[in-house]
Structure 1
Amino acid sequence: MDESTTRDRIHGGFLGRVIGSTMGTIVEGWSFENIKKTHGTINKYIGFSFDEAGHIPGIPNDDEMFEMVLLMALEERGRGITRMDVARKWQELIHPNFTFTAEKVAIERFHKGVYLFGEDLVKENPYHDFIGAQMRGELPGWIFPGNMAAATSLARLDAEVSHAREGITGELFVSAMVANAFNVPPAAASPGAVHFSWLRRCIDASKAAVPPDSLYSRVLAKVEALHDASPVDWERNFLEFRDFAGREILDELCKGADKNRQDTLRRLYHIHVLPNAGIILLALLHGQGDFSKSLEICADCGMDADCNCGNVGGILGTMLGTANIPAGWSRPLNNTFMTLVKDWDESNIDTIAARIYEASKKLRD
């Protein structure tokens, strides 16, 4: 792939990421039933005040903070980046009040001079396998386009700053999907859609980043089996998957855990990595490579909708490039991105995408 196409794919990926996290924000934490009763379906931006030009005012979303901070760390440290570099950047640039679950615990400990990574933080961070690392998985794939091994290596380093076990696997899978997305031919199957056969190849290749004996692998296998048996009825498949995840998978997570950990899992399972990983894959498969349809399904499932839609938008946006993302999604953003990262002064989506590309090119040269 030539560099101009790579640059555009990164741009499309970041744009898709911002589109997804923005449209999913309004139903973050909602149930499928509540979304259906209140909105029917989420197939456009809702809950925002549009100006006369049809633009949404820039509203910061916490989901992209960690990718922007990783970008800054990569710009400073390059190939020699370490987990400690990322941790210190979090400590410097992200206020704990803007964070949740695993990241919040990690940053609060960093400020106390306690730095624990990966497996060492399992007993100290009850959220070590929640959604946060998966949420930020696109950047390693953009940094190493087409190179799943390099992308997942960077993803593991980043994930271990706050997560362990299945939490790390979430970032590995998303980074693999994005890296492999660059191997999908650039021609769209139809406006706003990639060829489903190529999407499926991307999924199959990316599963190599997932430990075969993991609960994450079981989640992916369940969603694929449901889709392949009934490719049309996504709602029925989602409800069956949700029951499976809330019964078998949750029970496995709770085995051997103390009461505090079990209570945390049951109370906050909607933001655990595993059910949300299933939603991402379900939306991609049932969306059949269509950008809008995939986002609609993803948002309608609920749970951690802004994280999930951000991942789906980032993956498909990388496959499509900017020209193939429907204008009805991109135009209302008015090329604007806002974040709560300290000292971040860039608000143009295209400029940030160019910055990601330059970091990628420097690390690949």
Structure 2
Amino acid sequence: MKKLLLSALTITLLSATAPTNQPTKSVTLSKTVIQDKIKGGWAAQVIGCTFGGPTEFRFTGTMINDYQPIPWYDGYIKHTMVNNPGLYDDVYMDLTFVDVFERKGLDAPVAEHANAYANAGYMLWHANQAGRYNILNGMKAPESGHWLNNPHADDIDFQIEADFSGLMAPGMPNTAVQIGDPIGHIMNYGDGWYGGAYLGAMYSLAFVSNDVNYIVQEALRTIPVQSTFYQCITDVIKWHKQFPTDWKRNWFEIQRKWSDEVGCPEGVFRAFNIDAKINSAYIVLGLLYGGGDFTKTMEISTRAGQDSDCNPASAGGILGTMLGYDKIPAYWKQGLKEAEDIDFKYTTMSLNDVYAMGMKHALRVVERNGGKINGDQVTIAVQTPKSVRLEQAFTGHYPVLAKGINKDLENEYSFDFEGIGFVVKGEAKPKNRSSVGYESLFAFNTELYVDGKKIETAKLPVNFTHRRYDLFWKYQLSKGKHTVRIKLLNPDNDHIVRMSELLIYNDQPVKSKL
């Protein structure tokens, strides 16, 4: 490895007789340094989430221009945590898994993590909600996150929740990826999983390197080169070398090549883009052009747009780990102390609690993976990143048509289409939310038929936290004409199934005539 921190640590070559699959170097850090970096990672997540919160998905397909101010002031963090606690969904989702490790140990089975998040009280969207629905209805991971069962498999969800994996595995990117692998597949697959794997690896490397460029490029070695995720991030790195002082030119190149959405039904044919790889590209944009400067990193990863609270939270968390808590500029930590004892919503954990838990878990992981603890000195068996297996979602599937339905499902609804797949968007809900509310436990029972064959029997709960995020879908059909029939088995006077839009896929994209 290169560019390792040389201050406050010692580098020692391991025995030449060590197995070839073991690390070739060790790094010794004091417990004080490790704790400072863990604090920096968690604190910077909160800072980035707070800073970018007001702009989240308000700038889709466009950047936030320099002249537009983004507020930051003393007391802002506490005010937001008290008055808008739902903003920190990417943090309290992280903490769901941290809490399972704390209660059930490092060997907690994935079912413990899946059940904890599926039954939590917080609201979820996209891949998280699709995965939750699958878990609550008897499906297990990794099938719950697979793209055939989850139209949002490539979405950003695990990417914004994977911070814990890298913060638990200082200097051990492969271990970070392994920790996150089963959890990430609860709700994601393919590029959606790679986003979390990549971020976990960057967090891990940020403990042992002070070179942002190195962290970005070395962590990418965990991702298969054949994947679209790898290709996207490689382009961002290439364009940074080509346009080293112009992040906006890089941003435009990202938009030109990587802004098409294939998976997420809400983003297809729209500027809205919650795909993992393009939002990860904005994280890398902030890290590379920020060059280790916390303010520049915050500004660029936020002003790139789209998921502009999660992206600076991720970029800031990685940089905060590299710098350590004490070196995060005072400007960004103003008011942080008064917020560090506030429990995040839906948890009994504050930042101060997480700092302590994170340190305890990290030390255990170090010892489990060839490291040693001797008093205040922690020797980490540093790992060279290795590529994980290749997964790709929606291969050979191209959206070709979005057609409005805008009807309530009564007894039956049918449609014909030509292609290889479809998604019916919509929701099951109370007719009058003010009187019935999201707390209703009523669920519709439905059947889906394709070409006369019953594909599934599906429940459609009206409860918001139990809902099916998309109503119906089917991929990998034979190319040609198909007939779809949807049957509602238990109509109800107080609830409706509203079908909003039909999305059609084929095996070739529509070609522009320009």
Q: TM-score, normalised by structure 2?
A: 0.61
1:35 match: 64
Change in Cα spacing, 1:276 to 1:20, as seen in structure 2 (3 Å) is same
2:236 match: 223
Give the secondary structure class of the aligned counterpart of 2:362: helix
Residue identity (%): 24
For the pair 1:299 / 2:302, whether they are aligned, the reply is yes
Provide, for residues 267-306 of structure 1, a one-character-per-residue CA deviation record: whole Å limited to 9, x for no partner: 4752111210111111111111111101101111110011
1:156 match: 181
TM superposition shift of 1:335: 3.2
Q: Distance in 1 between matches of 2:249 and 2:221?
A: 28
Q: Distance in 2 between matches of 1:156 and 1:118?
A: 13
Q: Distance in 1 between matches of 2:145 and 2:183?
A: 15
Choose 139-148 or 107-116, whichever is displaced more: 107-116
Q: Distance in 1 between matches of 2:173 and 2:39?
A: 19
1:69 match: 96
For the pair 1:26 / 2:70, whether they are aligned, the reply is no
Q: Distance in 2 between matches of 1:227 and 1:293?
A: 15
1:322 match: 325
For the pair 1:176 / 2:201, whether they are aligned, the reply is yes
Give the secondary structure class of the aligned counterpart of 1:332: coil
Q: Which has the higher helix share?
A: 1
Are the counterparts in 1 of residues 47 and 77 from structure 2 also a CA contact under 8 Å? no
TM superposition shift of 1:263: 6.4
2:120 match: 93
Provide, for residues 294-336 of structure 1, a one-character-per-residue CA deviation record: whole Å limited to 9, x for no partner: 1101111110011101100110000011111011111233333
Are the counterparts in 2 of residues 78 and 363 from structure 1 also a CA contact under 8 Å? no
Are the counterparts in 2 of residues 176 and 209 from structure 1 also a CA contact under 8 Å? yes
Q: Which has the higher strand share?
A: 2
Higher RCO, Cα 8 Å, sep 6+: 1
1:358 match: 360
Change in Cα spacing, 1:356 to 1:243, as seen in structure 2 (3 Å) is same
Q: Distance in 2 between matches of 1:264 and 1:55?
A: 33
Letter in 2 for 1:21: C
1:275 match: 278
Letter in 2 for 1:141: G
Q: Distance in 1 between matches of 2:339 and 2:188?
A: 32
Q: Distance in 2 between matches of 1:164 and 1:140?
A: 17
For the pair 1:124 / 2:137, whether they are aligned, the reply is no
Letter in 1 for 2:229: Y
Give the secondary structure class of the aligned counterpart of 1:270: coil
The unaligned stretches of length 5 or more in structure 1 are: 186-197, 255-260
1:203 pairs, out of 216, 240, 249, with: 216
Q: Distance in 1 between matches of 2:34 and 2:176?
A: 15
Provide, for residues 71-116 of structure 1, a one-character-per-residue CA deviation record: whole Å limited to 9, x for no partner: 0111123232222121011123344xx1110111111222222324
Provide, for residues 329-364 of structure 1, a one-character-per-residue CA deviation record: whole Å limited to 9, x for no partner: 1123333355332xx2233x2332112111222343
For the pair 1:13 / 2:18, whether they are aligned, the reply is no
Are the counterparts in 2 of residues 265 and 272 from structure 1 also a CA contact under 8 Å? no
Give the secondary structure class of the aligned counterpart of 2:297: helix
Q: Distance in 2 between matches of 1:55 and 1:75?
A: 26
Give the secondary structure class of the aligned counterpart of 1:212: coil
Change in Cα spacing, 1:268 to 1:107, as seen in structure 2 (3 Å) is farther
Letter in 1 for 2:219: S
Note the aligned Cα RMSD (angstroms).
Answer: 2.3
Number of matched residues? Answer: 332
Q: Distance in 2 between matches of 1:200 and 1:147?
A: 18
Q: Distance in 1 between matches of 2:288 and 2:62?
A: 21
Q: Distance in 2 between matches of 1:120 and 1:181?
A: 28
For the pair 1:81 / 2:108, whether they are aligned, the reply is yes
Change in Cα spacing, 1:56 to 1:170, as seen in structure 2 (3 Å) is same
Letter in 2 for 1:30: R
Choose 228-237 or 353-362, whichever is displaced more: 353-362
Q: Distance in 1 between matches of 2:269 and 2:355?
A: 38
Change in Cα spacing, 1:184 to 1:335, as seen in structure 2 (3 Å) is farther
Change in Cα spacing, 1:83 to 1:320, as seen in structure 2 (3 Å) is same
Change in Cα spacing, 1:55 to 1:106, as seen in structure 2 (3 Å) is closer
Are the counterparts in 2 of residues 41 and 296 from structure 1 also a CA contact under 8 Å? no
TM superposition shift of 1:119: 8.1
Q: Distance in 2 between matches of 1:41 and 1:243?
A: 26
Q: Distance in 2 between matches of 1:54 and 1:222?
A: 35
TM superposition shift of 1:8: 1.0
TM superposition shift of 1:136: 1.2
1:139 pairs, out of 140, 157, 164, with: 164
Change in Cα spacing, 1:155 to 1:118, as seen in structure 2 (3 Å) is farther
1:45 pairs, out of 53, 57, 72, with: 72
Q: Distance in 1 between matches of 2:227 and 2:214?
A: 21
Q: Distance in 2 between matches of 1:359 and 1:217?
A: 29
Are the counterparts in 1 of residues 134 and 144 from structure 2 also a CA contact under 8 Å? no
2:378 match: none
Change in Cα spacing, 1:94 to 1:210, as seen in structure 2 (3 Å) is farther
